[in-house]
Structure 1
């Protein structure tokens, strides 16, 4: 549905995007993750036709963004980090204005407005001036205008920034519901946001894509965690002698049981657990826990950020 090839963008001496390439397929929820200044907002503005790249191409539904900007924008719902709201207008008046600007036919507007209002739970705020709404409800108004025209593709830039925990949960639920009908790309620097909403994550650092994988693949490792009921002799040496084991690291646990991380030598498709289980049976080790280790998104992000 979306294809980005070798996109570059600079602001004077600052290179915001350095040859970014990615594909987003229909029906996906993709999280664009990175620290402030990584290039997330620049990429989103290019995708939505609000900013021209210095080089590279962007196509959506087979149309080039530079030559078919209006046609593509008609298929996109966009919520920038600071939603372009008019504080003096009521919620209802603002959404009606946006429906007119989106050229939604008058006969369809009541249904479209009603669907967007219900989806964002704004029924009790329709006559209230936008300027008097809380941050959370202003975000909902921004989301409502983004989905009025039933776009095929939704772009959200930091949709939960500045919200309290309750509002964040509500916005996450809404994004999940919207994903049933639209492909969604949203940017964030909040790791838990991606873990809660996405199957796939794109990590961008210093204008370059450092990872583009499904969360399950990104989290997988070749390592295993072993916890025993009590201490045994020569455990580390025995584990280190297994095939595909690089190192064995003792772990500190809250309950003081002897624990070890067995670090594998191969890619994440090599599971060490069966061999460890066979060894434990042969040595009569009192097994308390054996599982494949997984990396958190935070550890993956920090590893990439530090060049590990």
Structure 2
């Protein structure tokens, strides 16, 4: 296993950040690590990268225990923390050369990671002159510099615009072809586009750990988006059979979730007719990862 976590617990005073967390990640997997703010994501990533130690349990990366063999773990991990630490007064190549010296690797590797992360157009500049997207690329290039077997990325796309998101996503997918990637993010579309598997943590406990395709396909609930010609009270909608949730997204458009595999569109149409309403549009929607995430973390 590339990553092995067994019964990890960590507390900050009276607050329990991690509560007997266990999972493993196989070599070559791209795993999305999701959870609300304060769920314990960054704490676990800091444990895996030897920045802090757990109170209980054990963890290993590439077979190396994070407590007994921290140097070996650091050598085999590329880490991009949430707040990407960079020396803004250094030029891109100068900064990468500094890190190459730390890792005692050949300077030829610098040009390889510049090309791999798409830094070439901006590599002649000081880091302080770069956009947020290119600074993230510098962070990724640094994490990849020593050619680690495992990449641990904590919120790698925070603060990026839509174009930058796509660029960084493509970089991660590209490097993930021959490395294990364990990434934390709040952007569900990123997970759906990049990851093979999803682990969801809430209040320090793992609540879901499944392959992404299986997680979505297992959801039996049915979602229908319908627009009525006039407003309607939610209490009236509650008379619909199998109705699990009714969300008024905007104006007279409702997102109705039914706890059944039966196609409920005809029932919604009949309901509208019986209540003097017209359906201006109606469509069947698949439940996406964002909806599953909300359900798993709002109980």
Q: Decide whether the 8 Å contact of 2:16 with 2:204 is kept in 1.
A: yes
Measured after TM superposition, the shift of residue 126 of structure 1 is: 2.4
Distance change >3 Å, CA 88–CA 206, structure 1 → 2: same
Given the two structures, how large is their TM-score scaled by the length of structure 2? 0.79
Query: Aligned residue for 1:210?
Result: 207
- Measured against aligned partners, the alpha-carbon deviations of 1:211-237 in whole angstroms (never above 9, x if no partner) come to 0111112112335689xxxxxxxxxxx
Query: Aligned residue for 1:134?
Result: 131
Query: Aligned residue for 1:230?
Result: none
Query: Aligned residue for 1:151?
Result: 148
SS of the residue corresponding to residue 51 of structure 2 reads coil
Q: Decide whether the 8 Å contact of 2:33 with 2:182 is kept in 1.
A: yes
Measured after TM superposition, the shift of residue 272 of structure 1 is: 6.9
Q: Decide whether the 8 Å contact of 2:35 with 2:297 is kept in 1.
A: no
Query: Aligned residue for 2:17?
Result: 16
Tell me how far apart the structure 2 counterparts of residues 261 and 209 of structure 1 sit (CA, whole Å): 25
- Measured against aligned partners, the alpha-carbon deviations of 1:23-82 in whole angstroms (never above 9, x if no partner) come to 101100000111211111101000111110011000122221100000111000000011
Does residue 296 in structure 1 map to residue 288 in structure 2? yes
Measured after TM superposition, the shift of residue 125 of structure 1 is: 2.1
SS of the residue corresponding to residue 74 of structure 1 reads helix
- Which of 161, 180, 183 is 2:180 aligned to? 183
Q: Decide whether the 8 Å contact of 1:29 with 1:183 is kept in 2.
A: yes
Query: Aligned residue for 2:165?
Result: 168
- Measured against aligned partners, the alpha-carbon deviations of 1:145-184 in whole angstroms (never above 9, x if no partner) come to 0001111000110000011111011000000000112100
Tell me how far apart the structure 2 counterparts of residues 85 and 192 of structure 1 sit (CA, whole Å): 27
SS of the residue corresponding to residue 155 of structure 1 reads strand
Distance change >3 Å, CA 215–CA 101, structure 1 → 2: same
Query: Aligned residue for 1:30?
Result: 31
Does residue 198 in structure 1 map to residue 190 in structure 2? no
Given the two structures, how large is their TM-score scaled by the length of structure 1? 0.77
Structure 2 segments unaligned to the other structure (5+ residues): 225-240, 249-255, 264-281
Query: Aligned residue for 1:81?
Result: 82
Tell me how far apart the structure 2 counterparts of residues 95 and 262 of structure 1 sit (CA, whole Å): 53
Q: Decide whether the 8 Å contact of 1:223 with 1:272 is kept in 2.
A: no
Query: Aligned residue for 2:236?
Result: none
Query: Aligned residue for 2:237?
Result: none
Tell me how far apart the structure 1 counterparts of residues 72 and 170 of structure 2 sit (CA, whole Å): 29
User: Structure 2 matches for 1:65-104, cutoff 5 A?
Assistant: 65-104=66-105
- Measured against aligned partners, the alpha-carbon deviations of 1:244-272 in whole angstroms (never above 9, x if no partner) come to xx9489x99xxxxxxx98744xxxxxx87
Question: What RMSD over aligned residues (CA atoms) do the two structures have, in Å?
Answer: 2.8
Tell me how far apart the structure 2 counterparts of residues 24 and 202 of structure 1 sit (CA, whole Å): 10
SS of the residue corresponding to residue 222 of structure 1 reads coil
Distance change >3 Å, CA 114–CA 11, structure 1 → 2: same
Distance change >3 Å, CA 224–CA 133, structure 1 → 2: closer
Higher alpha-carbon Rg: 1
Q: Decide whether the 8 Å contact of 1:222 with 1:272 is kept in 2.
A: no
Measured after TM superposition, the shift of residue 298 of structure 1 is: 1.6
